[in-house]
Structure 1
Amino acid sequence: MDRTERFYKIQTMLMAQPSVTMRQMLETLEVSRATLNRDLAYMRDRLGIPFAWNSSLRGYALTQQPSNARTFELPGVWFSEQEIHSVLTMLEMISKLEPGGLLAPHILPFKSRLEGLLDEGTGSAKEASARIRIIPMGQRKVVSEYFQILAQALINRKRLLIKYYSRQEGTVSERTVSPQHLVYYRDNWYFDAYCHLREGLRSFAVDALRSVDLLEEAAQEIDAATLREVFESSYGIFNGKQRQVATLKFTPFRAQWVANEIWHPDQVSTMLPDGSYQLEVPYGEDWELIQDILRQGSDVEVIAPPTLRDKVRDMIERMRERY
């Protein structure tokens, strides 16, 4: 049992009963009296856990009851070494997924405290950071201030006044929106919102924001079933409600990878006798699906519907003409 786990055990024992004797701690922790004395001193003097020897109870007892029924607000005290390693790994992943530094100011202090606790125990946190490689592709820069205002509005359920750049039209529009979800999708941030200008639900790219202002007016709430129907019922992030189902057939070679992929929660897949793989996915608008089909090259064929098959064929023809 490492030192951090012992801290957790001691704290749990102190909170579970009126007092804890030295013998009870020694038997539970299986350490020497000298080690236990050092642990108790560290917890009291460095971690600030309010406990002391109670002569009337003949044991160690809390001198202050926690405001929370379960724990004191002492971040990290109840983490084991393995749990700290897991949290540090997640923090390292977040920092590498966010090279623009959106979350770094908030993550770094927490990460430093965890590293300090781990260093006081049995090991170092440096190895995890050095061994994790995450390579984002196509990540677009986001203004940190906009991201934070968006998150604030989302949590506090407030409307936003935004100026938004439309890449398709090449114009900037001003609109009031009620944010519903914040989404990290394919290495970029988006948010789902009710657009009061268009009077409907839309997905917006955070990097396409040109200004963001928090309003005092409460956000318009949309029920969860409607949000799922619009944002989760079809393939991709910008597709809206499901209207059709695409049937795709992958070669035996490509099936080795695609058979283990989730293209949509409601997909239907079949491994065919010749080793090829058939996938059925619901979709609304088809442009994002077409892009992913083309990424598979000659290892995929659109079986249905005919309109999707024709669009993919026409796209391939235009590509051939260009080359």
Structure 2
Amino acid sequence: MERTERFCRIEMLIRSRGCVSFADLMTELGVSRATLKRDLDHLRTRMDAAIVYDRDRNGYRFAVTGRQARRPGPPEASGVWFSEREIHALLTMHQLLDGLGVGSSMGRHLQPVLERLQGMLGTSDSEARELVRRLRVVPPARKPVRGRSFERLAGAVLERRRLRLTIEADDGSGERDRIISPLRMIHDGGIWLLDAWCHESEALCRIPVPQVRAVQTLELRAREVPMRVIEAELDAMPALRAA
């Protein structure tokens, strides 16, 4: 049983039984006394697991504080667990996003997740940085994504909301506003592209994300277009066509 599996097993045992003795944990995990002590210490100090020793019950349980004290049922454990291979895969995915130019715009949302993944691996901050350096993605030359445009555009695609975009013209002659229904985002040839339905031209269009200067989310639902239609018309386009 690898370390991350033991962490998950410890929390599951405490959550299901309410309180578990040190001896029972050793038996269930099949580990030495020293290994179990290290695991419990890591869970509490690195993973913020609220595991406390109950002298009256001679076992380990979850502390009940704040909102949990007012909830019925047993205290909650600290959340989702992954195996080491799954953690490595997730860290690789983060490096891939960073290489595609969106790591910084999504970083503040991903950072708590990355810290938790590092804690599961049992690595220090310096060891985690060294590990990430071994997963490097070298992208082709790309146009940078402006500010929070990627995050807002991707959010609208998933939430199915219409947008008002301010888009820079291809020839640099100025800017124009368009109301669109975002349908899909793709990365091709070093650039992020937004596939959308343009409500002015009443047609599908493909918008280079670096040309988007402003994004306003509207309350209207996005128009739905079947993916087979999007793929048939836009994936065969010989060149970019902005709204």
> Offset at 1:179?
1.6
Separation (CA, whole Å) in 1 of partners of 2:61 and 2:144: 53
Q: Partner of 1:139: helix, strand, or coil?
A: coil
2:37 aligns to what? Answer: 37
Question: 1:207 aligned to 207, 210, 227, which one?
Answer: 210
Tell whether the 8 Å contact from 2:95 to 2:137 is kept in structure 1 after alignment: no
Tell whether the 8 Å contact from 1:193 to 1:203 is kept in structure 2 after alignment: yes
Question: 1:79 aligned to 79, 82, 100, which one?
Answer: 82
Q: TM-score, normalised by structure 2?
A: 0.74
Residues 1-323 of structure 1 correspond to what in structure 2 (within 5 A)? 1-53=1-53, 59-64=59-64, 72=76, 74=78, 78-98=81-101, 101-120=104-123, 124-167=127-170, 172-215=175-218, 217-222=219-224, 226-233=225-232, 238-239=234-235, 283=236, 285=237, 287=238
Structure 1, unaligned stretches of length 5 or more? 240-282, 289-323
> Offset at 1:128?
4.0
Tell whether the 8 Å contact from 1:14 to 1:20 is kept in structure 2 after alignment: yes
Matched length: 233
Q: Which moved more, 1:107-116 or 1:23-32?
A: 107-116
Q: Give the CA RMSD over aligned residues.
A: 3.6
Tell whether the 8 Å contact from 2:179 to 2:199 is kept in structure 1 after alignment: yes
Tell whether the 8 Å contact from 2:94 to 2:103 is kept in structure 1 after alignment: no
1:78 maps to a residue whose letter is W
Q: Partner of 1:101: helix, strand, or coil?
A: helix
Tell whether the 8 Å contact from 1:85 to 1:125 is kept in structure 2 after alignment: no
Tell whether the 8 Å contact from 2:196 to 2:204 is kept in structure 1 after alignment: yes
Q: TM-score, normalised by structure 1?
A: 0.58
Separation (CA, whole Å) in 1 of partners of 2:184 and 2:96: 22
Q: Partner of 1:163: helix, strand, or coil?
A: strand
Tell whether the 8 Å contact from 1:85 to 1:128 is kept in structure 2 after alignment: no
Which structure exhibits the higher relative contact order, with contacts defined as CA atoms closer than 8 Å and separated by 6 or more residues?
A: 2
Separation (CA, whole Å) in 2 of partners of 1:187 and 1:193: 19
Percent identity over the alignment?
31
Separation (CA, whole Å) in 1 of partners of 2:92 and 2:100: 12
Tell whether the 8 Å contact from 1:136 to 1:187 is kept in structure 2 after alignment: yes
Tell whether the 8 Å contact from 1:118 to 1:124 is kept in structure 2 after alignment: no
The one-character-per-residue Cα deviations of 1:120-177 (angstroms, maximum 9, x if unpaired) are 48x9444543333423224112202222332343344332211223437966432111
